[in-house]
Amino acid sequence: DAGVIQSPRHEVTEMGQEVTLRCKPISGHNSLFWYRQTMMRGLELLIYFNNNVPIDDSGMPEDRFSAKMPNASFSTLKIQPSEPRDSAVYFCASTRTGASEAFFGQGTRLTVV
């Protein structure tokens, strides 16, 4: 099992540009989470999906953020337009229904300059 796979690992972009982060969950896992981690705010839950359906997006900070899960093996988190305060590490995690233990990808370190 390859684990949760995120891409890219690092992203540096200019303010105002669109950024797309990608995640492939563990096969057979049907819950997927997007988190953002900063020194100031810790690990914040942005949105989570169950069976490809967004269940709770109350953590998405602004309309500039959007997330999709078109199928069971792929999800994207998009920021448009990006701002310097979006700089953080973004993690994707997945789990199985009935099991609460979540497994994390390696994260994407986003820097917006």
Partner 1 sequence: QKEVEQNSGPLSVPEGAIASLNCTYSDRGSQSFFWYRQYSGKSPELIMSIYSNGDKEDGRFTAQLNKASQYVSLLIRDSQPSDSATYLCAVNRSGGYNKLIFGAGTRLAVHP
Judged by the rule CB under 8 A, the positions of this chain that interact with partner 1 are: 31, 33, 35, 41-43, 45, 48, 50, 55-56, 91, 93, 95, 97, 100-107
Q: Which is nearer to partner 1, 17 or 97 (CB)?
A: 97
Q: Round to whole Å and give the CA distance between 111 and 47.
A: 21
Closest to partner 1 by CB, 3 vs 16, is 3
**Closest CB to partner 1 among 88 and 107?**
107
Cα-Cα-Cα-Cα dihedral sign, residues 25, 107, 32, 99? positive
Smallest CA-to-CA distance from 50 within 92, 97, 90, 3 is with 97
